[in-house]
Amino acid sequence: MKTASGPSGRLARWRAALMAGTVLMTAGFVLSGGAVAGDIKDEPRFKSGKDYSSLKDWNLKAENIVPHGVNPLYYPIVPGHKHVHERPDHPDGKYRKETVVLDSTEDFDLPGIGKFKTAIVQEEEYMDGVLTQRALNWFALDKTTNSVYAFGEVSWEINEEGKPVFEGTWRAGDLDGDGVAEPGLLMPGTFTVGGRYIFDGGQNQAYGGAENMEGGIEITVPAGTFKNCVRVREQGLINLKDITDKIWCPVVGVVLDTSDGKLIASAALPKDNPASDVSSVGKLRDKPLKYTPPVAKVSGDQATKIALAEIPGKATSVKIERKKGKNVYVVEIQTPKDGEKDVFVDIESGKIVGTD
């Protein structure tokens, strides 16, 4: 990756090298050739919702909100659009996310804004070829600015038997703790370095702020080489350790996400680009699931004792999940000083394979 202003540009932390492959270095991760090293490990730059613009600053009016359209740096929010990201080095296996803009819309009626419709954007996540999560997002654009907004989502985890289990939801206008959930701004119509805005407005379920970090980027990913791209940092405000950097490029939207990986296919690409072929989207979902129930050689009580020896506190939950490529007990522990911690204990060996 390189920036238009060179290595000594607005962010000195970003050093570029154009050799046989594209290399990106920044404080929390390294990308080389095609490997995504991981999520951002930087300290949070901003920690409160008050540090970001929000609904009160955006002058949203129903007559200007449309379900479908195009933002200069976003993917086309038009029915039928599809794209795919993959992260082969995800710690739990080969990760893939398929995004589809559905034909249907969702109705909203918000105080101070009015009645309008949003697009429904489906995201399905796969691990090692198995569907693990599905979400429906409600997005729309302000036609006067081309800014893209999020009005909520509903999501399901797909259990080991291939059945959806409701995970959670947030919706602008619904009660949210002591207040009401608000829309989030996903991408402003005009990108300005230094701009900050709430991108998810459900303070109990999904709450975070975005910061426009850098512009003028050129980057190569499996879907092609893209210019005039920008970098946005997303900061979780419920979990301050949840930090993601995204590279957004004209026409196609996100081409690199430190959590979700790199763009490998998009219907927005020219037809002469092989990465414009999105015919594989949805096919994994229809594959029969090969499910063998995990057999634990270590009991839940034993796993809890092992976990508490590693992180003292009070165990509040013990369940079997797939983590770091293994079947593990996830032991949730409430600690006196550091809040909730998770310890992953291998169900066969009883060894700790990670913490969170």
Q: Is the pLDDT score of 31 beyond 70?
A: no
Position 155: which residue type? Answer: S
pTM attached to this predicted model: 0.76
> Which two structure tokens, joined as six digits, stand for 306?
């092992």
Task: Give the integer Cα–Cα distance in Å for 135 and 77.
Answer: 16
| Distance, CA of 196 to CA of 193 (rounded, Å) | 9
Please name the amino acid found at residue 240. Answer: L
pLDDT (0 to 100) of residue 38? 47
Query: Residue 88 forms beta bridges with which residues?
Result: none
Strands 253-257 and 243-249: antiparallel
Is the pLDDT at 28 greater than 60? The verdict is: no
pLDDT tens digit sequence for 43-55: 999 999 999 999 9
pLDDT at 325: 63
Distances (CA, A) of 253 to 23, 101, 233, 312, 355: 20, 14, 14, 44, 33
pLDDT for position 290: 62
Tracing tokens 């086309």 back to the chain, one arrives at 76
Cα Rg of the chain (Å, integer): 21
Tens of pLDDT, residue by residue over 106-120, are 999 999 999 999 999
For residues 283 and 154, give the distance between their C-alpha atoms in angstroms, rounded to a whole number: 22
Instruction: Say which range, 27-41, 84-98, 178-192, 296-310, has the weakest mean pLDDT.
Output: 27-41
Cβ atoms 347, 338 nearer than 8 A: no
**pLDDT > 70 in the chain, percent:** 86
Residue closest to 266 by CA, chosen among 13, 74, 90, 118? 74
Of the candidates 336, 313, 318, the one whose C-alpha atom is nearest the C-alpha of residue 328 is 318
Residue 298: per-residue pLDDT: 87
Mention every residue, 6+ apart, whose C-beta is less than 8 A from residue 353: 323, 324, 326, 328, 344, 345, 346
Taking a C-beta distance cutoff of 8 angstroms, is the pair 209, 53 a contact? no
